[in-house]
Amino acid sequence: MWYSYLSAELDDNDAVVAQVTTDQQSSWYCGHFPEDPILPGIAQLHMVSATIAKVLKKDLILQNLTRIKFKKLIRPGDVLDIHAVPDKKKNQFAFRITSDQEAVCSGTLTLAPKEEIEKNS
């Protein structure tokens, strides 16, 4: 895997909280950009949705993204804090990624259980 969990759990307020670090040898960094490696936004969003699925122990599929903001570049080896809170709407999570207490990325994800999507297909 191209990132490692330092911790990942559900807190007392039902928020998903995790701390991760990216592998410096990840292919994401090789292609984006060889001389100045940064983690692409799509990789950040995948990491958040996969972390929510892992902590909730559910097979979830990303359905929608809203209000996504990228504010800081992620470099190889950066330690990232992920915080995702269930929203009022079904299957929605407001999330933020921080590094050294600075905002990196935030927004809202809609994640649906895989079996729900297959049933409606």
* pTM for the whole structure: 0.92
Classify the phi-psi angles of 29: left when phi > 0, otherwise alpha if psi is within -120 to 50, otherwise beta: alpha
Q: Kind of pairing, strands 60-70 and 102-113?
A: antiparallel
What is the Cα–Cα distance from 45 to 65, expressed in whole angstroms?
A: 9
**Chain length of the chain:** 121
Q: Which fold has domain 3-120?
A: Thiol Ester Dehydrase; Chain A (3.10.129)
What string of pLDDT tens digits covers the 121 residues of the chain?
A: 889 999 999 999 999 999 999 988 888 888 777 788 999 999 999 999 999 999 999 999 999 999 999 999 999 999 999 999 999 888 999 999 999 999 999 999 999 988 776 666 6
- Give DSSP secondary structure letters for 53-104: HHHHT--EEEEEEEEEEE-S---TT-EEEEEEEE-SSTTEEEEEEEETTEEE
